[in-house]
Chains A and B, each alone.
Chain A
Amino acid sequence: MSDTAASGPVMSADGVPLKRSLNRALRAQKIRALALIAPLLLFVLITFIAPIADMLFRSVENQIVRETLPETVQRLGDWDADSGEPPSEAVFTALYADIFLAAERKLHTRLGSRLNYEETGASSLFRKTGRRVDRFDTDIYTDQITDLDPAWEAGATWAALFEAREARSALPFTARSWERWTDFVINEEEDDPLEEDVPDFLYTALYSELADGAGAGLDPRVDQVIDALPGFETVSVREQFLDADEDWGGADIWRTIQTYSPAYTSGYFLNAVDMEKGTDGPQFRPENEQIYLTLFKRTMFMSMVITFSCILLGYPVAWILANLPARTANLLMILVLLPFWTSLLVRTSAWKVMLQQQGVINDTLVWLGLVDDGSRLVMINNQFGTIVAMTHILLPFMILPLYSVMQTIPPTYLRAAKSLGATNWTAFWRVYFPQSVPGIGAGSILVFILSIGYYITPEIVGGTTGTFISNRIAYHISSSLNWGLAAALGTILLAVVLVLYWLYDQIVGIDNVKLGG
């Protein structure tokens, strides 16, 4: 009909394929749309997506062991943890180098705190060892080597030695240790390593490698040391460590170091569900050390109770609001929203005043003679207090979606049902209620998700039995500084919410959720 062949692409008036000119026209629109959302997108990316990604990463990240104790981790690889024996002298020598450098850089305490999450006592062990490590009796190697040739005292000698690639590959441990030390001096002390005293641990490292038979023929000075080795007086690095702290003689701390040497760990997650890495795979902690599963269960349970209370209290209110004339409804809506205008802290504290044993409610009950003065009700600092206060605080989040959904249900449906012979209850239950379910769904999702991560209210009125998992997360973030565990707990919480959301979608259907018209 037209001049475009039926098979070929449709052309626009100027002969450009229609698809392409359409795309060109749309591109400008797309760019404009993108420019409009870009600020928010950036904002969300920086303040929301990035922190979540960071949190997810932190919950498995475990670089600290391998970064602080690189040599030890490497040599500990083939140690058999089940032997019950501490590892060999070589591992202790490596640990000596690692801890010495770590102590210089004040990193050993951090590592100690990290390992303390897994093995109690690790923190003090590292602190003590860090203090002792530059007073180890290993200076006999320093003395014996420098006695052979005073040139060893000069950093320049070491530097010259490890210039050569052969030396670096023949004496890798010493070479790396030298390099790490010089790096530290240059970057952190901002000094010239050639002018510093060469530390004892480097002589010990050199000795240990030469004693293992490496390094022959590299350099006359090295050969000289090798020749003198049989007459060397020796000292056990292991003994030095045991002197500093006996715990180094047990297998436990070594097992912990070995277990947590990979760069990524499931340890935080295991911890978060009350498990630990035992000798044969993950196992539950002893009963009396389990807290997180209980907390998760409690958080779930209480959030559900709160959601349910909100539905029970909010549904009739929303119903009334939706069926009143608009003006009255708006007025009452202000009352519903009033809590939003009061500080959360004030509201929660008010509940404290209301519910405490010397509080308003108890006083009234005693006055009415319903409760004996001696047995005033405990309604605060427990689950009851948390549920009451949070139901109050979250109620508007239930009422608002319910209201806006109910507003869209025309009253004629109820009339129709009644005219068809249904009683008030049947008309409500069979006709009105099903149509308000999307509102209940939306309100429940809001309230449940808000309450599952609620922090302030349980913190203030929850006592010990009414706290949520979020309070524990906050504790790990701000007090124990175990961010990895906090991140793992947070990640699990996120996952639980997503799973529940998915379940909800399966059961109710997410398109069955309406926040309004």
Chain B
Amino acid sequence: MSPSQSDTAFVEFIRVQKSYDGENLVVKDLNLSMPKGEFLTMLGPSGSGKTTCLMMLAGFETATHGEIMLDGQPINNIPPHKRGIGMVFQNYALFPHMTVAENLSFPLEVRKMGKSEREEKVVRALDMVQMGAFGGRRPAQLSGGQQQRIALARALVFEPELVLMDEPLGALDKQLREHMQFEITGIAHNLGITVVYVTHDQTEALTMSDRVAVFDDGRIQQLAPPDELYEQPQNSFVAQFIGENNTLEGVVQSIENGVASVKLDDGEIIDANPVNVSKPGERTKVSIRPERVEFNKARLQEGAHTLKAEVLEFIYMGDVFRTRLRVAGNDNFVVKTRNAPDAVRLKPGEHIEIGWLPKDCRALDA
């Protein structure tokens, strides 16, 4: 499974652009390639063009530029109903005048499938989402979670190889959501289908996906597996958007042996991993995850740079402690420590020194 090789690609966006009004590009130069069987999530803030991409793939919007390929074929000129792509809509779009079974049977009917075969597939699809007993109900007689399952079953019943889901869990409460996340990934892996999943919930994206495409401003900012995305954000947007993050601003002074030394705006100097900076004099945002900050000197590498910090707030969160510090003029510098037996509970007003491993401290674009 090597996503970069385009000859194994199942879904491919090649230099795709999209504009609705002829003035603004909603999608700018999108390149994306997915192998068969991958679960890819498009994650990004509202209005970043995720739904637009999905709609172009499904055929409801046309790309203003570029090519979209499905299984090696360009599909720009294939109408939606011939693409054979399953789709789960945000508001489920279950047909209100049909029963659940009729809803599921609809895609099979339009494919002119025989009655007995249809019934068999409907039953199987309903059983798959554990809704076997609800075939006779109308969508309005189902709860949100149940409707969601039916929408999923309907998108899968005609056995598409590619399924698109646009924020399918957006309307559910947290608990149900987590449960459904688990079920959807389970079903997707069991059936071996390729899934493009849209969400703006990063936890959902991280827990469900093989790879996540982080969208902003019509571009993919980073396309990577969840761990890589979290631990090695490629730019400051991704760093900010995924998980919690501390940012310190400064100027690169030198880059030597893969270590950049950054002079922060209040004059202190720290070491950082140069990800997005190439030469001295560049402005940079240095990003450190809260759980990678260390204030136990003993655990720090020898010769590591340390910074002075003042404790502003201590929050007990059960499994972790969340401590807010003032560091280099930044009042929102957060440190997370595991609630281990030997963990130190800092008190507001205390003055401490903090540090980190240079590789955890990423110098990104400003």
Contact = CB atoms under 8 A, between A and B. Distances in A.
- Report if A and B associate in a common complex: yes
Interface of A: 410, 412-413, 415-424, 426-427, 430-431, 434-435
A406 to B, nearest CB: 14
Contacts of A412: 89, 91, 93
Interface string B96-114: 1100000000110011000
A115 B113 CA distance: 72
B182 interface: no
Contacts of B82: 421
B3 to A, nearest CB: 25
Among B83, B93, B96, B164, chain A packs the most CB atoms within 10 A around the CB of B93
B158 interface: yes
A56 to B, nearest CB: 40
Contacts of B60: 415, 418-419
Interface string B72-90: 0000000111111111010
Interface of B: 58-60, 79-87, 89, 91, 93, 95-97, 106-107, 110-111, 154-155, 158, 164
Given A416-B95, A420-B154, 14 more contacts: A410-B91, A415-B58, A415-B87, A415-B93, A416-B87, A417-B106, A418-B60, A419-B60, A419-B83, A420-B107, A420-B110, A421-B84, A422-B110, A430-B106
Among A412, A415, A421, chain B packs the most CB atoms within 10 A around the CB of A421
A416 B157 CA distance: 14
Instruction: Give the secondary structure class of A's interface.
Output: helix
Contacts of A410: 91, 93
Among A410, A418, A427, A431, chain B packs the most CB atoms within 10 A around the CB of A418
Contacts of B91: 410, 412
Among A412, A418, A419, A434, chain B packs the most CB atoms within 10 A around the CB of A419
B58 A419 contact: yes
B111 A431 contact: no
B93 to A, nearest CB: 4
Contacts of A434: 97
Among A410, A413, A434, chain B packs the most CB atoms within 10 A around the CB of A413
Nearest to A432: B95
A229 B155 CA distance: 110
A454 B106 CA distance: 44
Contacts of B84: 421
A415 B57 CA distance: 13
Contacts of A420: 81, 86-87, 106-107, 110, 154-155, 158
Contacts of B155: 419-420
A423 B112 CA distance: 12
Nearest to B93: A416
Given A431-B95, A435-B96, A435-B97, A418 B89 contact: no
A418 B80 contact: yes
B93 A421 contact: no
A421 B155 CA distance: 11
Given A413-B93, A413-B95, A431-B95, A419 B106 contact: no
A196 to B, nearest CB: 82
A419 B156 CA distance: 11
Contacts of B96: 435
A418 B59 CA distance: 9
A434 B96 CA distance: 10
Contact of B158 (A413, A417, A421, A427): A421
A419 B95 contact: no
B89 A421 contact: no
Nearest to B151: A416
B80 A415 contact: yes
A416 B164 CA distance: 11
Nearest to A423: B81
A173 to B, nearest CB: 75
Nearest to B60: A415
A419 B87 contact: yes
Contacts of A423: 81, 110
B85 to A, nearest CB: 6
A76 to B, nearest CB: 65
Contacts of A426: 110
Contacts of B85: 419
A434 B106 CA distance: 14
Given A415-B60, A415-B89, A421 B111 contact: yes
